Amino acid sequence: MEDTIVALVTPPGISGIAMVRLSGKEAFPIADSCFSSNKKISEAKSHSILVGNIVYKNTIIDNLAALIFKNPHSYTGEDTVEFTCHGGYIASEELIRVLKELGARLAEPGEFTKRSFLNGKMDLTQVEAVADIIHSISVPACQISARQLAGGLSEKINEFRKRLIDILSLLELELDFADEELEFIDKANILHLISESAEFCNNLASSFRSAQILRNGFYVAISGYPNSGKSTLFNTLLKKKRSIVSDIPGTTRDYIEDTLYIGQIPIKLIDTAGLRSSEDCIEIEGIKMAEHILEQADLNLIINDISIDENHSAKLYSEVKSKFPSSQAILVQNKIDKLDFSNFLKKEAVSYISAKQGLGVKDLLSLIEKEACSSVSQSNEFLINERQRDLLERASKHLALAMESAKSDFQNEIVSIDIRAAIKPLGELSGENWSEEVLNNIFSKFCIGK
């Protein structure tokens, strides 16, 4: 981390202001060599603001404000200057060009946050929370991520990790005095503590799917035979025209995705190609893609043209439920406006609508909301990602083995092996143990400037 780095930290484009961050050992000397004000940046107090001009080679580049943060009291833990210059493309680009010519280099994606981690300003769960806040598409996801950034998840993990370290210390102490037949542990209490730790890891790991829905959205695939009204329903639910509607079968060949918000849960609607036998190679690819989407979706809406026959799509509905059991499915009877529906006997777990006329759509939205809400835990305390889930499952596996050993003959050596094996992944969660590969994978999800 010898280099001093610079990057635009606000989105590029036309705006009132833009922010450029400069961080590293030479941040203040570099800034002083181009910033003209009544005081040098290096002489200013930390967390103070100076207003002045960027002057380079006798040319004024911009009039701006400089926010000064002295190490270790900055985002990166290094000397940092955050310039708030005028918005637009040119002013910020010119400022970055000047700072690079004076010795800074352009930051890599996520490098400011990486330096924050390496300088002990945050742990890995907090780093991942930063990425989650930036990419949040729902209010709950943003709020939960903010709690994690404040250290909520780290505190919980460290609490149970310390508990396991204490247990391990007592087990090993007793082993050291095995010849003297001294007992330092209450075996019933140890078993209780291991059980509590295992339950914590299990509960946290099992919240992964719920977290994924809050993070990425609840995926709803709209599928069915051609001309059943899939694209019309897609447009009706979104209240805008996104899909082409045509009487010609096979019009939708690729999938179209858009987001609908029901309450605070983002619903990812996907309009797919009509499912049928085809000799058109492009349509065949669209059908294959549709089947892949059905497999991945949280909820599949199977659209049936009831004006043809109420049971026209019954076989397809059964096939989808059988082939993709991990996804929920709703049979949607469409085009009820073409029938005398007043005396029609409705069936449970079936939605009756006219996508074209908007009839029954409100009830269908309620069904979608019910399915989405039932898939999201109302007590989601943390937003677990795949890396964290895998580590929690590893810890849980070893804690289960430790409990088995403790319940049988309680051999300290055997119990200790699994307790130690459970402690390791808990350390990896917060970044006590980390590899360059893990860091690179985490920071690959960041943008330049963060």
How do residues 188-219 score in pLDDT, each as one tens digit? Answer: 888 899 999 999 999 999 999 889 999 899 99
Of residues 21 and 378, the one with the higher pLDDT is 21
How far is 406 from 268, CA to CA, in rounded Å?
Answer: 47
The pLDDT, as a whole number, for residue 325 is 86
The pLDDT, as a whole number, for residue 132 is 92
- The yes-or-no verdict on residue 312 having pLDDT over 70 is yes
Q: Which of 19, 21, 15 is nearest to 87 (CA)?
A: 15
Residue pair 258/269 in contact (Cβ under 8 Å)? The answer is: yes
- The yes-or-no verdict on residue 427 having pLDDT over 60 is yes
Average pLDDT of the residues in 1-20 = 93
- The yes-or-no verdict on residue 450 having pLDDT over 60 is yes
Q: pLDDT class for 289, splitting at 50, 70, 90?
A: confident
How far is 130 from 127, CA to CA, in rounded Å?
Answer: 5
Just give the CATH number of 216-375.
3.40.50.300
Please work out, in degrees rounded to the nearest 5, the angle formed at the alpha carbon of residue 208 by the alpha carbons of 202 and 212. 175
The pLDDT, as a whole number, for residue 420 is 93
CATH 1.20.120.430 intervals, the chain: 152-207+383-431
- The yes-or-no verdict on residue 407 having pLDDT over 90 is no
Q: 31 phi and psi, to 5 degrees?
A: -65, -40
The pLDDT, as a whole number, for residue 244 is 53
Burial class (CB in 10 A: 0-12, 13-18, 19+), 178: exposed
Of residues 162 and 248, the one with the higher pLDDT is 162
Whether CATH 3.40.50.2300 fits 5-118:
no
Q: pLDDT class for 317, splitting at 50, 70, 90?
A: confident
CATH 3.40.50.300 intervals, the chain: 216-375
- The yes-or-no verdict on residue 240 having pLDDT over 90 is no
Proportion of the chain above pLDDT 90, given as a percent: 51
Residue pair 317/330 in contact (Cβ under 8 Å)? The answer is: no
- In terms of pTM, does the model score above 0.85? no
The pLDDT, as a whole number, for residue 185 is 66
Question: Which of 4-8, 69-73, 82-86, 434-438 shows the lowest mean pLDDT across its residues?
Answer: 434-438
The pLDDT, as a whole number, for residue 284 is 60
How far is 355 from 32, CA to CA, in rounded Å?
Answer: 64
How far is 428 from 125, CA to CA, in rounded Å?
Answer: 10
- The yes-or-no verdict on residue 344 having pLDDT over 60 is no
Average pLDDT of the residues in 376-380 = 74
Q: Which of 158, 157, 160, 152 is nearest to 197 (CA)?
A: 160
Average pLDDT of the residues in 386-408 = 91
- The yes-or-no verdict on residue 278 having pLDDT over 60 is no
Average pLDDT of the residues in 281-285 = 61
Q: Which of 117, 356, 137 is nearest to 234 (CA)?
A: 356
The pLDDT, as a whole number, for residue 263 is 83
CATH 3.30.1360.120 intervals, the chain: 5-118
Dihedral of CA atoms 279, 284, 285, 291 in degrees, nearest 10, equals -170
The pLDDT, as a whole number, for residue 179 is 53
Whether CATH 3.40.50.300 fits 152-207+383-431:
no
C-alpha distances (whole Å) from 422 to each of 194, 294, 342, 402, 427 are 10, 37, 63, 9, 9
Average pLDDT of the residues in 98-126 = 95
How far is 341 from 364, CA to CA, in rounded Å?
Answer: 17
The pLDDT, as a whole number, for residue 173 is 74
Question: Which of 75-84, 292-301, 392-401 shows the lowest mean pLDDT across its residues?
Answer: 292-301
Question: Which of 1-5, 189-193, 277-281 shows the lowest mean pLDDT across its residues?
Answer: 277-281
